[in-house]
Amino acid sequence: MALFTDIPETLTTSPFLLEGPVGPIEAVWDLPPAGSAEPAAIALCCHPHPLFGGSMTNKVIHTVARSCAAAGAVTLRFNFRGVGRSAGSHDHGNGEASDIEYLAVILRRRWPGLPLWLSGFSFGAWVSLTAASVIAPARLISVAPPVGRWDFSKIKAPACPWLIVQGDRDEIVDAAAVTAWVEGLRSGATLVHLAEAEHFFHGQLIELRTIVSDFLAPAVI
The structure's pTM equals 0.96
With b for 16 or more beta-carbon neighbours within 10 A and e for fewer, the 90-114 pattern comes to ebebebbbbbbebbbebbeeebeeb
Res. 219 pLDDT band, cuts 50 70 90: confident
Q: Confidence class of residue 35 from pLDDT cuts 50, 70 and 90?
A: low
Residue 121 to residue 75: CA distance in whole angstroms: 15
Distance, CA of 48 to CA of 127 (rounded, Å): 10
Q: Which of 142, 166, 168 is nearest to 155 (CA)?
A: 142
Beta bridge partners of 119: 45, 141
Report d(CA 110, CA 122) in Å as an integer: 28
pLDDT tops 70 at residue 221:
no
Q: How far apart are CA 25 and CA 80, in angstroms?
A: 7
Q: What is the pLDDT of residues 126-181, one digit of tens each?
A: 999 999 999 999 999 999 999 999 999 889 899 999 999 999 999 999 999 999 99
Residue range of the domain that includes 127? 3-220
Q: How many domains does the chain fold into?
A: 1
Q: Residue 167 sits in a domain of what CATH number?
A: 3.40.50.1820
| Whole-angstrom distance, CA of residue 204 vs CA of residue 45 | 19
